[in-house]
Chains A and B, each alone.
Chain A
Amino acid sequence: AQSVTQLGSHVSVSEGALVLLRCNYSSSVPPYLFWYVQYPNQGLQLLLKYTSAATLVKGINGFEAEFKKSETSFHLTKPSAHMSDAAEYFCAVSEKTGGYNKLIFGAGTRLAVHP
C-alpha cells in the first residue's frame, strides 16, 4: 500500500529565504504525487502534481517539486519565501485503482515565515 512521510511537522524560515518541505513516498507502482496547501479555515488547494511526465514540476505561487524515483522523494521548494506562504502543506500520493484517484496524505508540514 502507498504511504507518505513528511519530515518536519513545523518549518520556520525567514522572508526571502529558501523554502524546502520534504516528502518521501512508498509505492509499489509508478506513483502520482501531489502537493496541496491549506490556509486557515480554507479548503485544500492544489499547488502542483506529478503524473509521470517531466520530473521537475512547476506549480502556482512560485513553488516547484522534483520527482526522484531513486530517492522515492518529491520535495517542495520555493527560492524565496513570502509572508503569504505561511500555511500548512500536504504531500499526497495517489492510490490509483479502478480509474480514480484515492489520495493518501502525509501528516502535513506547517510553514511559518518570519520577517
Chain B
Amino acid sequence: GAGVSQTPSNKVTEKGKYVELRCDPISGHTALYWYRQSLGQGPEFLIYFQGTGAADDSGLPNDRFFAVRPEGSVSTLKIQRTERGDSAVYLCASSLKGDTDTQYFGPGTRLTVL
C-alpha cells in the first residue's frame, strides 16, 4: 500500500516568508509525528498527534511553528516569518497507534530559507 507522502519535496523561500509543509500518513494510522533533521544531525522530535489533537508539542522550537491535523489524517506544519536557521529536512512519520508501533517515515521536505 501507499506509504507516508510529503509535499513539496523541496521548498525554497526567502527569509521572513510563511511556508506550509504537508504530510499524508498511511491510511488508518492514528498517530502522526513531525521531526526536523538539520544537516549532519539525526532527526529531532517536533510534535505528536493522536487523532486530531496535538498530544505533545514540546519539540516545537518557538511560536513561529505550528501544526494542525483537523480531520485526523493529513497534517500541515506551518512556519511563520521563516529564518535561515529553519533550513532543514522536515520529516513526517505515522504509526497505527502510539506505543511501540513502528513509525513509518515519509521522504521529507527539504526547506531552504535564503
Interface residues of A (CB under 8 A from B): 4, 9, 32, 36, 41-46, 49, 51, 90, 92, 94, 96-108
Contacts and interface: CB of A to CB of B under 8 A. Distances in A.
A33 to B, nearest CB: 11
A72 to B, nearest CB: 18
A94 B100 CA distance: 9
Contacts of B100: 32, 49, 51, 94, 96, 101
Interface stretch (B14-22, B39-47, B75-83): B39-47
A99 B42 contact: no
Give the interface size class of chain B: 20 to 34
B98 A100 contact: yes
B91 A44 contact: yes
B103 A107 contact: no
Given A98-B55, A98-B56, A103 B102 contact: no
B48 A42 contact: no
Given A43-B108, A45-B105, A99 B41 contact: no
